[in-house]
Structure 1
């Protein structure tokens, strides 16, 4: 598996991953009716941010976006988001994307990385982020409407560098 910079031609494989994740409504706070064009505008980070894909040969297995969490006085903290194709989960793709994002943020001398909205029910992501050094610094109770579990909390997770 190789992680490389996203190029526009990747969208034909990235969009089905993004669409599958947001339509499932069980991990991301994105509007599940989002169109491909709207998703492209949200997912593909302009510089100084970055969007990447994890590929096996020509196949995109997952994708990540990263950038500054908030502008101005908050610009010293990075953020990132990750999506992995359903049939590629459990193979280390998410871990590799997370490590790539952390390395990117450290290289740019961010003070840390913050995830703003991790569904507490997304146990695999929460466990991955904890393994990679993140802590849950707060949870907004009932802030995520899970399709089968009802309202669950959204974690704010942080790692200081």
Structure 2
């Protein structure tokens, strides 16, 4: 598996699993029913941010976006978001993308990485981030309307670099 910068030509292969994940209603609070152009504006980062894809041959297995968590006086803290094509689940794609983002932030001189909204009941993601050294520093109760579990918390997770 290789991880490389995403290009405009990658978006038509990202969008189908991006929209599938959003429609599932379990991990992201993006609005439902976004068209490709609207979704692309939300996902494909502009500098100083970066969007990458994890690929195996010509197959896109997953994607991540990263950049400063806040502008200006908060720009020393990075953030990231991740999506793995459900068909590539269990192949280490999320871990590889997570490690890439940590390395990218470290190389970029960020002091830490903050994830603002990790769904509390997304135990796979919570476990992955904890295994990469992220800590839960707080949970906003009932901040996410999970499709099947109703209102659940959103963790704020941080890793000092």
Aligned length: 161
Give the superposition deviation at 1:87: 1.2
Who is 1:105 aligned against?
Answer: 105
Hey, what does 1:65 align to over in structure 2? 65
Unaligned runs of 5+ in 1: none
Aligned to 2:139: 139
Would you say 1:149 and 2:140 are equivalent positions? Answer: no
Distance of 2:42 and 2:147 partners within structure 1? 23
Normalized against structure 2, the TM-score is what? 0.98
TM-score normalised by length of structure 1: 0.98
> How far off its partner does 1:45 sit?
0.4
RMSD of the TM alignment (CA)? Answer: 0.6
Runs of 4 or more, structure 1, over 3 Å off, are none
In 1, Cα distance between equivalents of 2:17 and 2:102? 22
Distance 2:118 2:33 in 1: 20
Any unmatched runs of 5+ in structure 2?
none
Q: Distance in 1 between matches of 2:104 and 2:141?
A: 31
Deviations 1:99-128 (A, max 9, x none): 001100000110000000010011100000
C-alpha separation between the residues in 2 aligned to 1:57 and 1:107? 27
| Superimposed CA distance per residue, residues 12-63 of structure 1 (whole angstroms, 9 cap, x where no aligned partner) | 1100111011011100111122221111001000011100000010000000
